[in-house]
């Protein structure tokens, strides 16, 4: 193999590794989905976009759920039919009427080439509850060490 081919192969592999490192794991996504689901309230018919502004932030949870932040402290969990462009798009938009996005009428717009995603359900997210859910899922195990070389102490009742 030529050195140019080896260099190209190395760059491609490094790029793939970097892409995988920046993607959340399936377990992380399931935890986020569970936290948002637990913090989401009863379904509502619509939500209002902030006049003259775009969406503050958004996060796809899978190909059927999207979290939309209309403000830093206001979020909605949107359920859609399976939507192939939802998890891979770099930008989103919404159809709306007079700044209001409604179930059954409006759609999520993703990158060109993908069909718009019909909105099946909208639920407001209780951000205080979401933060509590998120904190509750963080768990750190701490073991005391029994000597100066840093090895962990033997478990209670151990050999």
Q: What is the pLDDT of residue 10?
A: 59
Q: What is the pLDDT of residue 151?
A: 66
Nearest Cα neighbor of 96 from 51, 41, 40 is 51
Residue 12 lies in a domain: no
Residue 79 lies in a domain: yes
Q: What is the pLDDT of residue 22?
A: 47
CA distance 66 to 107: 12
Q: What is the pLDDT of residue 152?
A: 63
Q: How many domains is the chain built from?
A: 1
Residue 2 lies in a domain: no
Dihedral angle, C-alpha 111, 86, 93, 104, nearest 10 °: 130
* DSSP character string of 3-62: HHHHHHHHHHHHHHHHHHHHSPPHHHHHHHHHHHHHHB-S-BSEEEPPTT---SEEEEEE
The pLDDT profile of the chain, 159 residues, written as one tens digit per residue, is 666 656 556 555 555 555 544 455 778 888 889 999 999 999 999 999 876 677 899 999 999 999 999 999 999 999 999 998 898 899 999 999 988 999 999 999 998 788 999 999 999 999 999 888 777 766 666 667 666 766 666 655 545
- pTM exceeds cut of 0.85: no
Residue 57 lies in a domain: yes
Are the C-beta atoms of residues 70 and 155 closer than 8 Å to each other?
Answer: no
Residue 80 lies in a domain: yes
CA distance 57 to 61: 13
């Amino acid at each position: 193999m030529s050195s140019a081919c080896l260099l190209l192969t190395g760059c491609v592999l490094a790029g793939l590794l970097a892409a995988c490192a920046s993607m959340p794991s399936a377990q992380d996504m399931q935890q986020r989905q569970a936290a948002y689901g637990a913090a989401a309230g009863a379904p509502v018919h619509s939500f209002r976009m902030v006049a003259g502004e775009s969406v503050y932030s958004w996060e796809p949870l899978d190909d059927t759920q999207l979290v939309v932040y209309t403000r830093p402290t206001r979020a909605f969990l949107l359920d859609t039919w399976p939507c192939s462009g939802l998890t891979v798009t770099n930008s989103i938009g919404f159809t709306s009427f007079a700044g209001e996005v409604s179930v059954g009428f409006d759609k999520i717009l993703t990158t060109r080439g993908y069909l718009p995603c019909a909105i099946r359900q909208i639920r407001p997210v209780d951000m205080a509850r979401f933060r509590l859910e998120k904190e509750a899922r963080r768990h750190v195990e701490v073991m005391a060490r029994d000597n100066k070389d840093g090895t962990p102490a033997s478990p209670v009742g151990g050999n």
